[in-house]
Structure 1
Amino acid sequence: MSETGEAPAAPGRLRRALPRSRRGRLLLISGLVLALAGTGLGTWATDTWPWPKDRYCWGAWEQDSGPDFLGDEAFGDDDDGSRTSKETAPTRERSNGSCVVTIASDYKSGYDGDKVSIDQQVSVKYGPVPKAAEARLAMVQDEFLGGDMVPLPDGLPGTVNGRGGLLVLPKSCDTPDGRPTVVTMDASGTYASGPSYSQNDPADLGGAQQTAVLLVAAANRGMAAAGCAPDEPLRVSSPIYDLPGEPERIFSASEDVCGIRGLRLGLEDIEDQTGAVTSDLQTCSVRGNGVAYLDLAMVAQPRLAALFDGITGERPVARGWRGKGAIGEQHAIVRADCAGRPATFLMGASTDAEYLAAFANAAAARLGCAPIAPKGAAR
């Protein structure tokens, strides 16, 4: 496929023509062995399949290479499911690219005979972060800095969970106006059975570790196409040890959330979740009945923090606050020196400055630097 055009890839070259049942495969293999033996070809004898496997996302991922969404496991009991892709690679002239792998499967349940439909997508986007502050915060914080995200391994600037992630590319891929370029990945999907049952069922990426590998592989291909790849490709060689904690119920309005003393929302029957708690990154989220009440993050990893350059404003959030920041309609941001380097404190789903003050001061104390907000600001 051309790197400059957009076209759907073949839906698995043999997917619709060949059966995937075990009996069908055995018959097919037997027939191929006989055919190849009769023609004197040695391909089969050397374990080389006569047809190449499909590749996806600018060639980064290969069919049957690991995670379920790339293998036959994605189709359940359906012998006629399809996996297709639609992609546009970035170029030197166009810094945006995308690829979407779609899995479609329909079959009858062996349990009750209901029709089962699976519709799943794995989406990858390559491009610079938005210019506008609110749009950038909505993209980065709301989607990739929640309490279910943890840092990428090996010092790679980004975050990941079992459903997707974000990677900030090297400065060689920055835009002329200085905005970093990122690669993001997201898995989504639905499972429907019968006329009335449906649930979220994201494509299976194989867990956070495998997700990180997939994300970095796509990033390497994207950078090569855009002409900004580093001399050595990015790699994931270390395991992810610090997985996010499970959501915890908050039953009382007087309970602290996210393990931060004094951070109370005055709400009952909600859940908080804490992701990373490191010197480079700290995240937490509060949810209840599907409603987002609060998202908080501290980012000190330099390249990840560069995502927020140029949107902190030129003045403190309020009198007595350290650093520079702004409180918008749906987000707040503060940046201040902390333990010898800049730290960025973010808040989403709420613009209550008391919540930001409690979180920022707690994170600053953990890092060993002066409070960000003045005494009493968190009351």
Structure 2
Amino acid sequence: MSETDEAPAAPGRLRRALPNSRRGRLSLISALVLALAGTGLGTWAAHTWPWPKDRYCWGAWEEDSGPDFLGDDDDGSRTGKETAPTREHPTGSCEVAIASDYKSSYDGDKVSTDQQVTVEYGPVPKAAEARLAMVHDGFLGGDMVPLPDGLPGTVNGRGGLLVLPKSCDTHDGRPTVVTMHASGTYTRNGPSYTQNDPADLGGARQAAVLLVAAANRGMAAAGCAPDEPLKVSSPLYDLPGKPEAIFGTSDDVCGIRGLHLDTKDIEDQTGAATRDLQTCSVRGDRDGVPYLQLAMVAQPRLAAVFDGVTGEHPAARGWRGTGTIGEKHAIVRADCAGRPATFLMGASTDPGHLAAFANAAAARLGCAPIAPKGAAR
């Protein structure tokens, strides 16, 4: 299948269009009995149906396995579409969509849900700004945790990112990644009430299993799979803290001394704080608007997604390493405790925020400050 070919939508079996009349039910039962008789008593004894279960995302996921979005629901329908990566065109995508309409048993209101789980396979973008927006903004927030078993990437209950082995890199050296994202809406009485309602991935660890399964299938299709498939066998560690309200402009954000925001009605969330990864996010406590995104990445393959975008000069006078401070993102890379570390900032344009975070992370890792004295304020 070429990069531009799209597999036809495959209807799921959330609802098998059962007839409502008694005659219809009897006809269906008779048909099932005949079908089961034709398959032999062995099939009946094994509790298997004559039809195979649907599979999604290049065959990585099977219906009725794992999380709720692959399970059975009498009120909904599930469809899948996908474009598989190939050796010639190593990019691909797949989507599982779940739609349901029903009346509330409580008040009779009409309820509709539309949910999606989307997976993308391909290299990180060439343009620096697009790469930072994709990886940093999407997968290095304070609610993300490192993938287990040393896998280079991050995950939460709504999705994740996995950096594939070097055998899947592009000819110009860009890493290939697999990303997964759950989304959706819940609507009551038409458009009068709508809220976000992402598809249920079954928690962060189950999301990691789904992500790695899709990655293994994608690599096999693209011809760059390692000798042994990637796997998730350990629990998730370094779970993020709960969002906490910030009541004053003098309050330290994410537990970092001297990191202050000149605004109220916000909340921060501190994610992982390991040798490989540290994250911090600040959002509006009512509207969820991002105010500040900070991350330190030292895990080699995860940090490789930022190769080639840090420039050749220091971010500012007195800063160590190389980097750039732009209108939407800032990035700095410097040696720290014997290996390169990458420090990132999004949403804010104040270099003082990055300075406070980078110096605090460097101190925790046991290396020299990244920004000069006075840069953090």
Percent of pairs with identical residues:
84
| Residue 155 of structure 1 pairs with residue 150 of structure 2 | yes
User: Per-residue deviation at 1:329?
Assistant: 1.6
Instruction: Say whether the 8 Å CA contact 1:36–1:42 is kept in structure 2.
Output: no
Aligned position for 1:230: 226
User: Per-residue deviation at 1:285?
Assistant: 0.4
User: Which of 263, 268, 277 is matched with 2:273 structurally?
Assistant: 277
Aligned position for 2:60: 60
User: Per-residue deviation at 1:268?
Assistant: 1.5
Q: What amino acid maps onto 1:251 in structure 2?
A: F
Quote the Cα distance in structure 1 between the aligned partners of 2:38 and 2:183. Answer: 47
| Residue 349 of structure 1 pairs with residue 344 of structure 2 | no
Aligned position for 2:208: 212
Instruction: Say whether the 8 Å CA contact 1:3–1:225 is kept in structure 2.
Output: no
Aligned position for 1:201: 197
Aligned position for 2:168: 173
User: Per-residue deviation at 1:169?
Assistant: 0.2
1:187-198 alignment to 2 at 5 Å?
187-195=182-190, 196-198=192-194
The 3-state SS of whatever aligns with 2:270 is strand
Q: What amino acid maps onto 1:180 in structure 2?
A: P
The 3-state SS of whatever aligns with 2:64 is coil
Aligned position for 1:361: 359
1:74-85 alignment to 2 at 5 Å?
75=73, 78=75, 81-85=76-80
Quote the Cα distance in structure 2 between the aligned partners of 1:38 and 1:278. Answer: 59
User: Per-residue deviation at 1:245?
Assistant: 1.1
Q: What amino acid maps onto 1:179 in structure 2?
A: R
Quote the Cα distance in structure 2 between the aligned partners of 1:310 and 1:3. Answer: 30
The 3-state SS of whatever aligns with 1:44 is helix
Quote the Cα distance in structure 1 between the aligned partners of 2:261 and 2:25. Answer: 58
Aligned position for 2:370: 372
| Residue 287 of structure 1 pairs with residue 287 of structure 2 | no
Query: Runs of 5+ in structure 1 lacking a partner?
Result: none
User: Per-residue deviation at 1:37?
Assistant: 4.1
| Residue 251 of structure 1 pairs with residue 247 of structure 2 | yes
Aligned position for 1:132: 127
User: Which of 89, 92, 97 is matched with 1:94 structurally?
Assistant: 89
Aligned position for 1:112: 107
Quote the Cα distance in structure 2 between the aligned partners of 1:71 and 1:176. Answer: 40
Query: Runs of 5+ in structure 2 lacking a partner?
Result: none
Q: TM-score by structure 2 length?
A: 0.94
Q: What amino acid maps onto 2:7 in structure 1?
A: A
The 3-state SS of whatever aligns with 1:42 is helix
The 3-state SS of whatever aligns with 1:256 is coil
Aligned position for 2:46: 46
The 3-state SS of whatever aligns with 2:211 is helix
Cα distance, 1:261–1:37 mapped onto 2, change above 3 Å: same
Instruction: Say whether the 8 Å CA contact 1:134–1:328 is kept in structure 2.
Output: no
Instruction: Say whether the 8 Å CA contact 1:44–1:50 is kept in structure 2.
Output: no
User: Per-residue deviation at 1:108?
Assistant: 1.1
Q: What amino acid maps onto 1:302 in structure 2?
A: P
The 3-state SS of whatever aligns with 2:11 is coil
> How many residues align structurally?
370
The 3-state SS of whatever aligns with 1:111 is coil
Instruction: Say whether the 8 Å CA contact 2:277–2:295 is kept in structure 1.
Output: yes
Aligned position for 2:11: 11
User: Per-residue deviation at 1:96?
Assistant: 1.0
The 3-state SS of whatever aligns with 2:237 is coil
Q: What amino acid maps onto 2:140 in structure 1?
A: L
Q: TM-score by structure 1 length?
A: 0.93
Instruction: Say whether the 8 Å CA contact 1:8–1:84 is kept in structure 2.
Output: no
Quote the Cα distance in structure 1 between the aligned partners of 2:267 and 2:224. Answer: 42
Instruction: Say whether the 8 Å CA contact 2:122–2:178 is kept in structure 1.
Output: yes
Quote the Cα distance in structure 2 between the aligned partners of 1:277 and 1:218. Answer: 28
Instruction: Say whether the 8 Å CA contact 2:36–2:50 is kept in structure 1.
Output: no
The 3-state SS of whatever aligns with 2:260 is coil
Instruction: Say whether the 8 Å CA contact 2:39–2:50 is kept in structure 1.
Output: no
The CA RMSD measured in Å over matched residues stands at 2.1
Aligned position for 1:122: 117
Instruction: Say whether the 8 Å CA contact 2:144–2:271 is kept in structure 1.
Output: yes
Q: What amino acid maps onto 1:219 in structure 2?
A: A
